[in-house]
Amino acid sequence: MYRAAASSLRPSLRRLSTCSSSSAPRRAAATTRRLLVPSPAPVSSRLLGAAAGRGHCSGAANVDRLASRGLATMAGASNNCFGHVLTSLPKPGGGEYGKYYSLPALNDPRIDRLPYSIRYLLESAIRNCDGFQITEEDVEKIIDWENTAPKNVEIPFKPARVLLQDFTGVPAIVDLASMRDAMARLGDDPGKIDPMIPVDLVIDHSVQADVVRSENALQANMQLEFNRNKERFAFLRWGSTAFNNMLIVPPGSGIVHQWFSIPMGTDSHTTMIDGMGVAGWGVGGIEAEATMLGQFYLINVILNQQPMSMVLPSVVGFKLSGKLRDGVTATDLVLAVTHILRKHGVVGKFVEFYGEGMRELAVANRATIANMSPEYGATMGFFPVDHVTLGYLKLTGRSDEKVEMVEAYLRANKMFIDYNETQTERAYSSYLELDLADVEPCVSGPKRPHDRVALKDMKADWRACLGHKVGFKGFGIPKEQQDKAVRFSFHGQPAEIRHGSLVIAAITSCTNTSNPSVMLGAGLVAKKACELGLEVSLVAKKAYEEAIGAPGPIADSVLEDVRWHRMTPMWHYTDRVGYVQGSYALGPLLRWKQDGHVKEGFRVWRTDQTKEQSILLDEAMTAWQSITSIIVLY
């Protein structure tokens, strides 16, 4: 019915070596070190030097590697058109971290007015400027962003790496395998077909949550996942050993958004990384389809390190002030932000957040907003690196030396925002503002995640939607039928459902399940419910045990990735009210309307104006979209 469109940061990791090669554990460990860390990335990422062997590296991989051996000058720097701005980054106690391409060394006052997100594009263009694929003219277009962006000029952009998930990534690997076959038939070395930039594929789109409300739900669902996808996983296992520059993360490890810095990914919610100053966005859609159809858009990027063409985007400056009130969550904030941005219109644009309100906004909450970029239509919602970001790096175990290097580089290259210092006025294409103190508890719905409704108005809004004509905010149900109930026998016990009965319940999404404040809040609500003696309704409770996967009267309780939650006393209460861990992937998000097993005793009830009839749930799935008079909506 009403869905809270929220999320949060950095789910726990879990590794299964059963579907990967003997080298998978070592690769998995390397991937773990590349968790969302905003080293200078992606601009600043591949950065501070260069990566020998695996192309330009970025994110935490840079921090870990470079902190131990120092920053290295990028290979081929002597051929760079901007070699004269190659500058040493000194260490506080003497010596240097390495060398980097300095934006201040250009001595161009226009750079000071650029949004931080555009500075990232500028640094990338300068670092990769070879006079051929990326020229000085391209760099000038970015520096002159205030004048060129309104003209929709195109610029080349070289991604640091490519992130794939198994749903869209398998076709790309199939293309690579086909090319190797072709090379072999031509009598050449198939090994020449190998990615020139790092490619990481995370298997997180294959799980189906068949088992719920059971202590062994996680293990059972993962076993079913392996059984169903044996052939696909065997192929991916081959890919993990066949290509030198490709890492394949096995099932059960988590979701794609928790990984490293990447500027290009086939998951639309790649944008979550923008919450901690790592510029990246999803390419999906046309580009991914082109890959599947053999047009090799991604393949060109992966194999030949060719720059991708992109329109130099407009940037909307979104100023945050004040502080969230007690009881207001990241969910409430992101719904308010989404409402404002959709009204303003940000399709194809960058949204850059700044202002005094950033001092109090945790990285988990920033990631929630950034993750919703596809919902409000922006290419990315970007949060420049500040002291809050650095604090998150320390909180998640990065050494002081690594964090100091990140800060030193970003400050030296004018990519760090310090709210304790006087801010240079930056130019934006348009401006928005929100006082965080004005945000109130809210939900979204009844059909779309960006239709924000204040929590206090939810009941009235729901009643109004029942009678409104069929649309995003209406179901077209006659007034005399709005209070109608259906009574039936469910597993030998009497049951009743009405319009608005709660039949699907889940704690899910890539950020919701790892935002401490949101999850602990859910645990406290569950604790209070248990203390008051409240129970889940008969139908919903039974449905937890029966099924997940189709629209209609199904209820499921899944904590998608909350291992850390079990370290608190709260998990006992969430378990008691039915929220049992079900998967380490996107199962609940992907499968509610696709799969699942429903016993015949569980039916969808509807009316056809003249008589009441029941339809088996599995038979009603296609009819669901055209039924307007439905007793149970969801």
Mapping DSSP to helix (H, G, I), strand (E, B) and coil, where does residue 208 land? coil
Tokens of 314: 């407009």
pLDDT of residue 254: 59
**pLDDT of residue 203 exceeding 70:** yes
**Phi, psi torsion values for 24, nearest 5 degrees:** -60, -45
User: Does some domain include residue 286?
Assistant: yes
DSSP states along 502-534:
-----B-STTGGG-HHHHHHHHHHHHHHHHTT-
Q: Check residues 504 and 121 and name the one with the higher pLDDT.
A: 121
Return the DSSP state at 581: E
Band of the pLDDT at 264, cuts 50, 70, 90? low
Tokens of 164: 């794939």
User: Does some domain include residue 436?
Assistant: no
User: Does some domain include residue 592?
Assistant: yes
Nearest to 616 by CA among 588, 592, 597, 589: 597
**Phi, psi torsion values for 433, nearest 5 degrees:** -150, 145
Distance of CA 30 to the CA centre of its chain: 21
Band of the pLDDT at 361, cuts 50, 70, 90? very high
**pLDDT (tens digit per residue) in 510-539:** 667 667 788 788 888 888 988 998 876 655
pLDDT of residue 12: 27
Convert 304-348 into a string of H (helix), E (strand) and C (coil): HCCCEEEECCCEEEEEEECCCCCCCCHHHHHHHHHHHHHHHCCCC
What does the radius of gyration of the chain's CA atoms come to, in whole angstroms? Answer: 26
Strands annotated E in 137-215:
154-157, 162-165, 199-202
- Contact 344/351 with Cβ under 8 angstroms? no
Give the integer Cα–Cα distance in Å for 366 and 599.
42
Task: From 284, 304, 324, give the residue that closes a domain.
Answer: 304
User: Does some domain include residue 617?
Assistant: yes
pLDDT of residue 122: 94
User: Does some domain include residue 566?
Assistant: yes
Band of the pLDDT at 268, cuts 50, 70, 90? low
Task: From 269, 304, 339, give the residue that closes a domain.
Answer: 304
Q: Check residues 490 and 555 and name the one with the higher pLDDT.
A: 490
Q: Check residues 380 and 614 and name the one with the higher pLDDT.
A: 380
State mean pLDDT over 393-409. 89
pLDDT of residue 632: 32
**pLDDT of residue 305 exceeding 80:** no
Provide the percentage of residues in the chain whose pLDDT is more than 70. 62
User: Does some domain include residue 329?
Assistant: no
Mapping DSSP to helix (H, G, I), strand (E, B) and coil, where does residue 446 land? coil
CATH assignment of the domain containing 241:
3.30.499.10
pLDDT of residue 388: 93
User: Does some domain include residue 196?
Assistant: yes
State mean pLDDT over 81-88. 92
User: Does some domain include residue 378?
Assistant: no
Band of the pLDDT at 477, cuts 50, 70, 90? confident
Convert 45-99 into a string of H (helix), E (strand) and C (coil): CCCCECCCCCCCCCHHHHHHHHHHHCCECCCCHHHCCCHHHEEEEECCCCCEEEE
Q: Find where tokens 């005094």 sit.
A: 356
Return the DSSP state at 474: B
**pLDDT of residue 591 exceeding 60:** no
Q: Is the dihedral of CA 533, 537, 543, 549 positive or negative?
A: negative
Q: How far apart are the first and last CA of the chain?
A: 5
Give the integer Cα–Cα distance in Å for 157 and 268.
19
- Residues of the domain holding 212: 161-304
Band of the pLDDT at 110, cuts 50, 70, 90? very high
Strands annotated E in 436-582:
442-444, 452-454, 485-490, 493-498, 558-559, 580-581
Tell me how many domains the chain contains: 2
State mean pLDDT over 68-75. 37
Highest mean pLDDT among 68-82, 135-149, 522-536 belongs to: 135-149
Amino acid at 547: A
Band of the pLDDT at 69, cuts 50, 70, 90? very low
Task: From 277, 304, 331, give the residue that closes a domain.
Answer: 304
